[in-house]
Every structure is written in structure tokens, then in C-alpha cells.
Amino acid sequence: MTWASLILDTKQLKPFVMKRLLICSLFSLGLLWSSSALAQNQSVYFGIGITSIRGELSNESIADEEYGLNYTLKYMLPLQNEQFVFTAETSFLNMQLGRQFGTGETAVNYQSIVSHTYIGAGLRFYLSRSVSKYNPYHGQFLPFIGLGAGAVHINRISNRAVIPQQIAGKKPVSDPTEGYEFYEGDNYEFAPQVEAGFAYVINSIWSVEASGLVRPGFSDSWDGVKGTTNSPDYFMSGALGIQMRF
């Protein structure tokens, strides 16, 4: 089975995504209702990051990428062993993508605006044991790693409709986009993610965070263009944010 065979249309994927969201929701409620398993130091996080969607287009041009801004809102609930923290998050990415196919007089330009909305849950692990007895103090340095998964809603608006006109205007007529597929509209996908970073404690309420995140996809259409290889697109982000405990 190739990566391309994993691409699902919206009607096929909605039950797939909803089933997994239901499982995550039931798991989350189970944690919330098991008060003996939880600490009482909840927090919220807001961050802004520079983001890239990388997509392999061909064997000759291994990867193409563009950059945009990603906004993340996250709820965090420490477990009894406060090195482990349950997380629930949503994030929004918007970027403008540009691709040129061919060179010189035969070049065809493709442009699109892509947005990703992610909703998911995960688990963060603080590497420092000083967090195991919750007593934040100024200057505390807390490196962490995290795993998560969720649903991604992908929306694309592009100039795909005018590409045939660009091709028809070439003399002689040539099609440098042959072998590529262009996607427009929206669909849903399931995606895992992994993060790593650190928190720096300002006081008992506020901390600042710096982190990096990778979210691999299961299709080659996240950027609106399916290349000539079977390699899926993936999402990378580096962010700065602030955490407030309550």
C-alpha cells in the first residue's frame, strides 16, 4: 500500500476522525473523573510560532516549503506524578504557498492559501524531577517532551482553475505540471505529533515556554500539491508562548 492510497475524501474520513476523537474524549473524561489520579495545578498556554509545511514534489526537487504563523491554545492538567501532564489543544495555521513548474517561457505558477485547524490531545513529560512535588519558583528550568494526536481540518484556496490557461498560452504548448495533482477545498485528516522544549518559571502563576513540534501527515496534499513521489507532507513549528497556572 502506498502513501497515496491513504488519501481519503471528506465523507470517508469524517467517521474515521470522529471515532478517534470520541475515544480521546472518553479517555480524557476518565482522567478528569478519577480525582485520585490528578493533581490540582491546571494551566493554560498560548503560543505563536513560525511554521513550515514541507512537501516532496519530485526526485529532482526533494522538498519545497513555505512559512506562516501558527497560533496554539492548550489546556494542561498534571497527573498525580506531576512529571506527566495531560494536554488538550487547538491550533490554527495560515500561510500563502507558491510553486513554479518548469523554467523560462514554459514556467507555470501555482499559488494557494492554506489553513490548518488542529484539535487533539496528548501527554507531556517533564524531564526534571523537581516538578514532581509542585512548588514552582522563579528561575526553575523544566525541559519536556510530548506526544499527541488529533484531527486536522485542511482548507485550500488556489489558482488551480487558471493553470490550463497558462499552459495554453505557451508557444509551443507544453505542460510542466504533468504528473502533479492539485487540490482545492477542504478535507479532514488524522495526524500524530511530537514536541520538545522547555518552560522557564517566572513565579507561581506564570511561565514562559519555547518549543519545537513536528506533525507528520499521511498524504501528500497538505500544501495543495501532490508530487510525483509517494512521500507525505509534514508540518514543523517553532514557538514561544506563556503559561498561566490556576
> Which of 38-42, 120-124, 220-224 is the least confident region?
38-42
Per-residue confidence at 226, pLDDT binned at 50, 70, 90?
Answer: confident
Domain boundaries, the chain: 4-245
> Which of 7-21, 131-145, 167-181 is the least confident region?
7-21
Asked whether the predicted pLDDT for residue 201 surpasses 80, the reply is: yes
> Which of 7-16, 153-162, 192-201 is the least confident region?
7-16
Per-residue confidence at 35, pLDDT binned at 50, 70, 90?
Answer: very low
What size, in residues, is the chain?
A: 246
Asked whether the predicted pLDDT for residue 199 surpasses 90, the reply is: yes
Asked whether the predicted pLDDT for residue 1 surpasses 90, the reply is: no
Mean pLDDT within 67-91: 93
Contact 229/188 with Cβ under 8 angstroms?
Answer: no
Q: C-alpha cell of 183?
A: 487540490
Asked whether the predicted pLDDT for residue 55 surpasses 60, the reply is: yes
Confidence at residue 158, expressed as pLDDT on a 0 to 100 scale: 76
Confidence at residue 162, expressed as pLDDT on a 0 to 100 scale: 67
Q: C-alpha cell of 228?
A: 510525483
* Average pLDDT, rounded, for the chain: 78
Asked whether the predicted pLDDT for residue 17 surpasses 70, the reply is: no
Asked whether the predicted pLDDT for residue 202 surpasses 90, the reply is: yes
Confidence at residue 224, expressed as pLDDT on a 0 to 100 scale: 75
Asked whether the predicted pLDDT for residue 105 surpasses 80, the reply is: no
> Which of 3-7, 62-66, 94-98, 192-196 is the least confident region?
3-7
Percent of the chain with pLDDT over 90: 39
Mean pLDDT within 59-64: 44
Question: Which of 160-164, 211-215, 232-236 tops mean pLDDT?
Answer: 211-215
pLDDT tens figures, 158-171: 776 666 666 666 65
141-158 and 185-201 beta bridge pairing: antiparallel
Distance CA 201, CA 203 (A): 6
CA of 37: how far to CAs of 77, 79, 155, in Å?
11, 6, 39
Confidence at residue 220, expressed as pLDDT on a 0 to 100 scale: 78
Among 178, 157, 179, which Cα is nearest to 167's? 178
CATH annotation of 4-245: 2.40.160.20
Which residues are CB-neighbours of 210 under 8 A, at least 6 positions away?
Answer: 197, 198, 238, 239, 240
> Which of 30-44, 73-87, 123-137 is the least confident region?
30-44
